Amino acid sequence: MTSIKPARFIDKSEITAIADRLLIKMRDAGKIPKWPQLADLVADYLDLSIVWEDFDAVKDGVIAAKIYPTRGEIYINNAFPAIRDNSGLYQSTVAHEIGHWVLHINLDASESEIAGVNSIQVGTIDRALTEEVFLCRGLAGDKTKVVNQKTPEEWREWQAQYFASCLLMPLDKLEEARRGRNLTNWKHLGAIGDELGVTISNLRNRLQDLDYLEKGGDSKQLYPGKRLRLAK
């Protein structure tokens, strides 16, 4: 039995709904979602621990983070100090791993297998299980790949990253944060990024995805998107 779900197509609206539902469940449980350290709060709510570690580059490859399905542990590589120094990058990394936990891990299997570990042949089962791990290579998302060329692993990475941006930047929170601000002004975007605990580039991507800003290009100029034009 595996604790990693078979790869499947999950579209943006479904991922958005899953992230929104998680925030509602937290609120219902008395854990009020708060920014800018939301990812830490969500990890805590889900009982996921966060561990900094020196990764084995031979075994894992050069990667920033990973999650072990059966242990409920998120690992972040000490070799990526930028994640420690940049709170937006850190929040995004943790939220990405939470995305794997919520979208890709068969939680029932994990629980029953963990129960098995406690009762029999601890060493053998534990070793077998810990080989199941999400090694996260493309945290920023590889935009150069044509959509239909993605492998199942790449789709999982995309889904986890999209989940991270939905979780950290839900629509209602963005609406609240943009009040009195100009989304085509970089300084204002920086202030919103600080408030939400996200990097400015993640914020820009999210605003483009939601049509607050016009999509496309790496231009330094920000143009209002459909949603902003309609709101005027």
Closest approach of Zn ion to the CB of residue 5, in Å = 14
Applying CB under 5 A, which of residues 136, 167, 169, 189 lies at the interface with Zn ion?
Answer: 136
134 vs 212 by CB, closer to Zn ion: 134
Neighbours of 25 (CB within 10 A): 12
Closest approach of Zn ion to the CB of residue 153, in Å = 9
73: Cα within 13 Å, side-chain hemisphere: 12
Tokens (6 digits) for 152: 């199942």
Across the strands, what pairs with 136?
65
- Cβ burial of 74 (10 Å; 0-12, 13-18, 19+) is buried
Applying CB under 5 A, which of residues 160, 164, 183, 222 lies at the interface with Zn ion?
Answer: 160
4 vs 125 by CB, closer to Zn ion: 4
Closest-approach residue to Zn ion (CB): 136
List the end-to-end C-alpha distance of the chain, in Å, as a whole number: 54
Closest approach of Zn ion to the CB of residue 189, in Å = 26
The interface region with Zn ion, picked from 37-45, 49-57, 136-144, 185-193 by CB under 5 A, is: 136-144
What is the distance between the alpha carbons of residues 83 and 37, in angstroms, rounded to a whole number? 14
107 vs 171 by CB, closer to Zn ion: 107
Length of the chain (residues): 232
Residues engaged in binding Zn ion (CB under 5 A):
136, 157, 160
